[in-house]
Amino acid sequence: MDLSLEADKRIRASHRRMTPQRRIILETLDALDIHPTAEELLGRVQEVDSSIHLSTIYRTLRWLEAEGLVQARIFNDDRRAERFDPAAPGEHYHFVCQECHAVIEFNNLLVNAIKAQFELHTGARVDFGSVVLYGLCGDCRKALLAEAG
Ligand SMILES: [Zn+2]
Ligand SMILES: [Zn+2]
């Protein structure tokens, strides 16, 4: 999804203006293929404009979240590691590397089967699902194997 483009539309619709700082934050978030924490995003953003503060990052992220353009996610039990996910339309799931903290997105139709089976057995209605798998990403796994010789 093109975050900047979507955000532009929302801003114009509400008759506000896009600040240059907000633009940099959006473009940086768009270009990152990770689900960054606010601090990680700050690091990248400051490579472009070192005057941008963490408070501005958070304000922008909360605004994007309220607009439904970004989802805040917490993986593991680490409450400090809230990560921001430019929300693609439709549900998707995540794999988190325990070594390098890479986040890999995936879709899996089998999750629909789990939902359907649960509904059948319980009479409940499932609205959405959240699946997070943890382990070693391909690169980290290769590095570990190379180390072991
Ligand atoms: Zn995601
Ligand atoms: Zn990894």
Residue 122 predicted with pLDDT over 70: yes
Q: For 48-140, where are the E strands, in sequence order?
A: 70-74, 82-86, 93-97, 103-106, 132-135
Counting ligands in written order, which one lies closest to the CA of residue 134?
Answer: 2
The SS3 call for residue 113 is: helix
Q: What is the mean pLDDT of the chain?
A: 87
Of 58-67, 80-89, 138-147, the poorest mean pLDDT is in 80-89
Report CA-CA distances (Å) from 107 to 11, 95, 110, 127, 130: 31, 11, 9, 16, 11
Predicted confidence band of residue 76 (pLDDT cuts 50, 70, 90): confident
Structural domains for the chain: 1-88 (1.10.10.10), 90-149 (3.30.1490.190)
Q: What is the CA(57)–ligand 2 centre distance, in A?
A: 26
DSSP labels, 23-61: HHHHHHHHH--S--BHHHHHHHHHHH-TT--HHHHHHHH
Residue 95 has pLDDT above 90, yes or no: yes
- DSSP, res 132: E
- Find how far residue 147's CA is from the centre of its chain: 31
Residue 1 has pLDDT above 70, yes or no: no
Q: How many angstroms separate the alpha carbon of residue 34 from the centre of ligand 2?
A: 12
Cα-Cα-Cα-Cα dihedral sign, residues 44, 35, 142, 76: positive
CA of 147 relative to ligand 2 center, distance in Å:
14
Q: Is the pLDDT of residue 80 over 90?
A: no
Considering every ligand atom, which ligand is closest to the CA of 87? Answer: 1
Residues with CB under 5 A from ligand 1 (ion): 85, 105
Q: How far is the CA of 50 from the centre of ligand 1 (A)?
A: 27
pLDDT at 78 over 80: no
pLDDT confidence of residue 79? 59
How many angstroms separate the alpha carbon of residue 103 from the centre of ligand 2? 9
Say how far apart CA 49 and CA 91 lie, in whole Å.
Answer: 33
Q: Is the pLDDT of residue 10 over 70?
A: yes
Which residue, 99, 132, 98, 127, is CA-closest to 115? Answer: 127
User: Would the pLDDT of 15 be above 80?
Assistant: no
Query: What is the per-residue pLDDT across 16-41, written as a single tens digit (0 to 9) for each?
Result: 778 889 989 999 998 887 789 999 99
